Amino acid sequence: MNNTISIWTWLVYKFFDNQNSRIKRLKDFDHEWIELCIADSEALLNLELEQENVDYLKSLEYVSIHLPWINIRYWDNERCRKVLSAVEKLYKKIWAKNVNVHDTEVDDYRIFQEFDFNVLIENDDYKFPDTATPSRINEILWLNQNFRFNLDFAHALTLWGEITKEFIDNFRQKISQIHMSNLTKDIKDHNFLHRDATAETLDLLRYLKENLSDDIPLVLECVASNENEIDLISKEIEFLRNF
């Protein structure tokens, strides 16, 4: 696959307790960009990136931000505005291209119209069937014409294989990035594709490669379960580049 490769900072969250240390650790790997994943809204409000990391992020080809999903609901209220104002400030500071949000955390999409950043909506997994389908994504994109789509490959895998193809076929002109990892109903955390991909998953990866543009960045959304697994990042990058 000739797409550029990103790594989300949540990949190493179990071993590095702040964004600055996570960014520094991920610098060691061969990738073109970073997705800054800040799970807790309080952590985002208190975030102070070191200038070294700000300069590094600005030097990358592409940076995105995964919006918080802890201690936050997105709707018309002052605390939400405070959080999104902090996101907007960070977005401009690090020259980000998109912010990513889950439908399950949003009560009123109109709040996003008050802020100057590009919004990507992401499909959910089997635990949230009402927000995991192409029809729901289509509804959101129709109601919010300036939004684009972040295809989460692993989330789609937890439903059924054909739904992955349906997402690709229906939204190929709206997909701005793809979260790449492996997930099933029996796996707790997003896992590495190169280690656990089934024959069906490999077929779906081929379909993705054949039907989507090389210009769409791929985000490694795996989660390392122990420090030894951090070394698997290089193998995952190699797997995707050689696929």
Convert the pLDDT of each residue in 89-133 to its tens digit: 999 999 999 999 999 999 999 999 999 999 999 999 999 988 899
Q: Hey, what are 100's tokens?
A: 């990513």
Which of these, 6, 4, 24, lies nearest to 15 by C-alpha position? 24
Q: Which band of pLDDT confidence, cut at 50, 70 and 90, is reported for residue 187?
A: low
- Cβ 6 vs Cβ 32: under 8 Å: yes
pLDDT of residue 159: 87
- Cβ 44 vs Cβ 38: under 8 Å: yes
Q: Hey, what are 53's tokens?
A: 């990391």
Query: What's the mean per-residue pLDDT of the chain?
Result: 94
Cα torsion through 23, 68, 1, 157, rounded to 10: 140
**CA–CA distance, 163 with 142 (Å, rounded to integer):** 19
Convert the pLDDT of each residue in 25-46 to its tens digit: 999 898 999 999 999 999 999 9
Q: Which band of pLDDT confidence, cut at 50, 70 and 90, is reported for residue 214?
A: very high
The structural domains of the chain, ordered by start, are: 5-242 (3.20.20.150)
For the chain, give the percent of residues with pLDDT over 90. 82
